[in-house]
Amino acid sequence: MANTYDIPETMKAWVLGDPHEMKMIEKPVPEPGPAEVLVKIGAIAVCHTDIEVLHHGMPAMVEGELPFNKDFTMGHEYMGTVVKTGPDVDEWAPGDRIAVEVHAGCGRCPKCREGMYTSCHNYSYRSKGHRANGFTTDGGFAEYAINNINTLVPVPDYMSDEVATLTVTAGTAMYGLDVLGGIIAGQSIVVAGAGPIGLMFIAIAKALGAAPVIMSEPREDRRDMAKNLGADILIDPLAEDVVEKVRGLTNGKGADFTVEASGAPGVLNQVIHMTNRGGRVCLAAFTNDLVPTDIAYVVSNNIYMFGIRGEGNSAVKRAASLLKQKRFDPSPIHTHTFPLEEADTAMSYAENQTDGAIKVVVKMS
Ligand SMILES: [Zn+2]
Ligand SMILES: [Zn+2]
- Which domain range does residue 54 map to? 10-166+330-363
Q: Is 83 helix (H, G, I), strand (E, B) or coil?
A: strand
| Cβ atoms of 78 and 100 closer than 8 Å | yes
Q: What is the per-residue pLDDT for 313?
A: 87
In the predicted model, is pLDDT for residue 120 greater than 80?
yes
Q: What is the per-residue pLDDT for 286?
A: 84
Shared-domain flag, residues 178 and 253: yes
Shared-domain flag, residues 150 and 71: yes
Q: What is the per-residue pLDDT for 5?
A: 95
Using alpha carbons, list the distances in angstroms from residue 22 to 19, 159, 216, 349.
Answer: 8, 30, 35, 15
User: Within a domain: residue 320?
Assistant: no
Q: Residue 258: which CATH number?
A: 3.40.50.720
Tens of pLDDT, residues 26-61 = 999 999 999 999 999 999 999 999 999 999 999 999
Give the pLDDT mean for 293-318. Answer: 94
Are β-strands 36-45 and 77-85 bridged in parallel, bridged antiparallel, or unpaired?
Answer: antiparallel
Q: What is the per-residue pLDDT for 2?
A: 60
User: Within a domain: residue 248?
Assistant: yes
**65 CB-contact burial (10 Å; exposed 0-12 / middle 13-18 / buried 19+):** exposed
Q: How far is the CA of 111 from the centre of ligand 2 (A)?
A: 6
Q: How far is the CA of 130 from the centre of ligand 2 (A)?
A: 7
Q: What is the per-residue pLDDT for 365?
A: 85
Ligand nearest the Cα of residue 119 is 2
Shared-domain flag, residues 28 and 162: yes
CA–CA gap between residue 301 and residue 136 (Å, rounded)? 40
Q: Which of 13, 133, 146, 148 is nearest to 83 (CA)?
A: 146
Number of Cβ within a 10 Å radius of residue 283 = 21
CA torsion through residues 303, 304, 306, 312, sign: negative
Give the pLDDT mean for 150-179. Answer: 95
Q: How far is the CA of 202 from the centre of ligand 2 (A)?
A: 31
Domain count, the chain: 2
pTM score of the predicted model: 0.94
**180 CB-contact burial (10 Å; exposed 0-12 / middle 13-18 / buried 19+):** buried
In the predicted model, is pLDDT for residue 1 greater than 70?
no
Confidence of residue 92 (pLDDT cuts 50, 70, 90): very high
To the nearest whole number, what is the mean pLDDT of the chain?
Answer: 96
Q: Residue 44: which CATH number?
A: 3.90.180.10
Shared-domain flag, residues 230 and 257: yes
Tens of pLDDT, residues 188-205 = 999 999 999 999 999 999
| Cβ atoms of 161 and 79 closer than 8 Å | yes
Shared-domain flag, residues 183 and 283: yes
| Cβ atoms of 79 and 90 closer than 8 Å | no
Q: How far is the CA of 23 from the centre of ligand 2 (A)?
A: 31
Shared-domain flag, residues 44 and 151: yes
CA–CA gap between residue 133 and residue 146 (Å, rounded)? 8
Q: Which residues surround ligand 2, an ion (CB under 5 A)?
A: 105-106, 109, 112, 120, 122
Tens of pLDDT, residues 208-261 = 999 999 999 999 999 999 999 999 999 999 999 999 999 999 999 999 999 999
User: Within a domain: residue 148?
Assistant: yes
Give the pLDDT mean for 292-310. Answer: 95
Angle formed at CA 287 by CA 71 and CA 120, multiple of 5 degrees: 55
Q: How far is the CA of 362 from the centre of ligand 1 (A)?
A: 14
The secondary element (H helix, E strand) that includes residue 170 is helix 167-180
Shared-domain flag, residues 66 and 162: yes
